[in-house]
Amino acid sequence: MFELVILTIGLALVFDFYNGMNDAANSIATVVSTRILTPRQAVAWAAFWNFVAAFVFGTAVAKSIHSGILRIDTISQVTVLAALVGAIAWTHACTHWGMPISVSHSLIGGLVGAGLVRAGFDPGVLQLGKIATIGIFIFLAPLLGLAGGMVLMVVVYRLFHRVTPGRVDRVFRTGQLISAAAFSLGHGANDAQKTMGIITMALAACADTRELVVKAGQFHVPYWVVLSAHAAIAVGTLVGGAKVIRTMGARLTKLKPAQGFCAEGAASILLFGTAHVGIPVSTTHTVTGAIMGVGAVKRWKAVRWGVAKRIVWAWVLTIPCAAIVSGLAYALLDLLGLVRWAEAVG
């Protein structure tokens, strides 16, 4: 059974790596598009702040993932393993296609699919209230990002309308370094914690390791789990997903430094707030909405709505597609006898 825990933790860190790779575009697309930094410099900058988040924020989001999707008594090692298979498969496919998706929602879909198959499609296995809250933010996150981006962009236009464009660009070239760092910090705080939640779930499901994460009846995220998750997402960001970066930074709308600053600034504020209260929102949804918001302030047609439509379709398909793959993975593992073996050894 301990070997299965090690395998699950390894897959969780692979998932975290892909999370950083797909979401690299969220943190750096604007600074690359506006030529503040080269792609290599930008991914290094984002990776650094992704890791620094380990020392700044708590683990509220991790606890939401651990106990907010499935009933704790229905979680098994194989459930977590199958959920990760589905999440990694969908994230890999979308990164290859250049689609910025919510890696968080692929994980949630994976847990839902594997959990339902294990429970014989009994909906009682799902924490429907908490899942509904996450579902609401699928729509709220991009809308809040869009509104925040528009508001900040209008404020910047009002404050700098008498300043020459060249001077505005010089001011916000520095400002964008700060906003990109802030967004990367929020990204690390929110997304790395989802992997922490999965690893904690795997440790709690095994009798041999349960005492590492359950103390006095309360779930605790070990510090080595925190550091491992942040390191994996930082390395994934350092590798980066070139196709996704091009989609976010160039194909959605053309950005100048002031617009990039407003998009990242609005998204960062939302991420800090949700990480503090423990709501696992999509960093992709948030910053994509913000980018569309700052583009729309300049001119509605400045946003390539056809590209935006394809991105939204990828968002809509993420949870069901990851759920299907994870459900099939659980059924296959059951057919191979892994489920019975895991239950037998406890």
Indicate whether 25 pLDDT > 70. Answer: no
Only one residue has tokens 């999965």, namely 198
Indicate whether 1 pLDDT > 70. Answer: no
Indicate whether 241 pLDDT > 60. Answer: no
Question: Number of helices (H) and strands (E), helices first, in the chain?
Answer: 13, 2
Copy the structure tokens of residue 70. Answer: 């499935």
What are the boundaries of each domain within the chain?
A: 2-345
Query: What is the pLDDT at residue 117?
Result: 93
Query: What is the pLDDT at residue 326?
Result: 94
Only one residue has tokens 């790779």, namely 21
Residue of 326, 325, 285 whose CA lies nearest to 308: 285
Summarised one tens digit per residue, pLDDT across range 40-99 is 787 788 888 888 887 776 666 666 666 667 887 777 888 889 999 999 998 888 877 777
Distance CA 87, CA 320 (A): 11
Residue 183 CB contacts under 8 Å (≥ 6 apart), including other chains: 26, 27, 264, 267, 268, 271, 283, 287
Most confident residue range from 15-29, 155-169, 181-195, 306-320? 155-169
Name the residue type at position 194: K
Query: What is the pLDDT at residue 155?
Result: 92
Query: What is the pLDDT at residue 67?
Result: 62
Handedness of CA 100, 137, 262, 194 (dihedral sign): negative
Q: Which of 125-129, 184-188, 274-278 has the lowest mean pLDDT?
A: 274-278
Query: What is the pLDDT at residue 246?
Result: 57
| End-to-end alpha carbon distance in the chain | 7
Mean pLDDT calculated for residue range 112-125: 89
Q: Which of 16-25, 151-160, 174-183, 199-208 has the lowest mean pLDDT?
A: 16-25
- What is the percent of the chain where pLDDT is above 90? 11
Residue of 147, 138, 98 whose CA lies nearest to 292: 147
Distance CA 166, CA 260 (A): 15
Query: What is the pLDDT at residue 49?
Result: 85
Mean pLDDT calculated for residue range 182-188: 81
Q: CB 1: neighbour CB atoms within 10 A?
A: 16
Query: What is the pLDDT at residue 331?
Result: 93
Copy the structure tokens of residue 238. Answer: 């350092």
Query: What is the pLDDT at residue 130?
Result: 76
Query: What is the pLDDT at residue 116?
Result: 92
Facing residues of 214 across strands?
A: 219
Facing residues of 126 across strands?
A: 70
The crossing angle, in degrees rounded to 10, of helices 60-68 and 165-204 is: 50
Handedness of CA 95, 28, 265, 306 (dihedral sign): negative
Copy the structure tokens of residue 219. Answer: 């779930």
Query: What is the pLDDT at residue 52?
Result: 84
Summarised one tens digit per residue, pLDDT across range 285-344 is 788 888 888 878 877 665 666 666 777 777 788 889 999 999 999 999 889 888 787 766
Distance CA 221, CA 187 (A): 19
Average pLDDT, whole number, for the chain? 80
Indicate whether 263 pLDDT > 70. Answer: yes
Distance CA 113, CA 328 (A): 8
3-state secondary structure of 121: coil
Copy the structure tokens of residue 309. Answer: 């439509």
DSSP letter at 247 equals I
Query: What is the pLDDT at residue 303?
Result: 67
Q: Tell me how long the chain is.
A: 346
DSSP per position, 136-178: HHHHHHHHHHHHHHHHHHHHHHHHSTTS-HHHHHHHHHHHHHH
Q: Which of 64-78, 192-206, 233-247 has the lowest mean pLDDT?
A: 233-247
What is each CA distance from 174 to 27, 49, 171, 219, 320, in whole angstroms? 15, 16, 6, 41, 41
